[in-house]
Amino acid sequence: MNEGPLMVKTAGYRLPTQRPHVMGILNVTPDSFSDGGRHTLAGAALDHARAMIAEGADILDIGAESTRPNATPVAQEEEWARLAPVLEDVIDLGTPVSIDTYKAEIARRACAAGAAIVNDVWGLQKDPAMADVVAEAGVHVVMMHNRAEADGGLDILDDIDRFFETSMELAERAGIVREKQILDPGFGFGKTIDQNFLILNRFETLKKHGLPLLAGASRKRMIGTVLQAEMADRLYGSMGVHMTAMLKGASIVRAHDVHPHADCVRMLEATRLERDPN
């Protein structure tokens, strides 16, 4: 449903230049792989958003459809019904908000409400209207690599490169300026465990595309497999992956646990600046 020209009230978002940014995850879903159902009520979601801001979140990433493996797809109106009670209140907290969706109409409504970033787990390649919506809104976009199925025999880095080239071409064609494009290799999305760690080990090679990079491995199976840890015990593994990614060039890390990741960023910057943290 198109309701006329898109009017965006957001104050915008500036990509990090001095230090990486922490994107705090706010799921308003009943079936998210990690914290599904915990923040579905508007009041609880808003409280969690406030807590993440206090802990140092630079961005809040709000999503209403789980992207975990084998998750049940959510109809557009159901997705919006989950977002509508909380989205504007979270935006009004003043921290830039990212909308985690691959549906153009959801992105359109969220940007009209004030979202500053569209986080598309299909890199503008799922919904043919998405690139135009992002361009019209003038917001940033995270274009994530994804695959319907993992293929252990695939050259995953080559596949990511070709996927990114397609996403960037779609963005350019729609009029999304390069300064507002962000790339995400998509840890855990259509990849084997070995492929995930190959991507991490070669993360710096993704900088050849000339765009900021996002890393999002928080609590994922790649960590649980190595540590033999259940979901609740994957914090330190998540921090290890994200710190490695930041050392290799990640500008944004997407995490459930904001405070420890914000501390990692502070320590990284103290080290880079050779400054006494005291």
Q: Which residues are catalytically annotated?
A: 220, 254
Residue of 37, 186, 218 whose CA lies nearest to 120:
186
Calculate the CA 30 to chain-centre distance. Answer: 19
Do the Cβ atoms of 118 and 130 come closer than 8 Å? yes
Residue of 30, 33, 58 whose CA lies nearest to 45:
30
Do the Cβ atoms of 117 and 98 come closer than 8 Å? yes
Q: Parallel, antiparallel, or unpaired for β 181-184 and 21-27?
A: unpaired
What is the Cα–Cα distance from 184 to 173, expressed in whole angstroms?
20
Backbone angles phi, psi at 186, to 5 degrees: 75, 55
Q: What is the chain's length?
A: 278
Do the Cβ atoms of 96 and 13 come closer than 8 Å? yes
Residue of 200, 191, 183 whose CA lies nearest to 147:
191
Do the Cβ atoms of 76 and 40 come closer than 8 Å? no
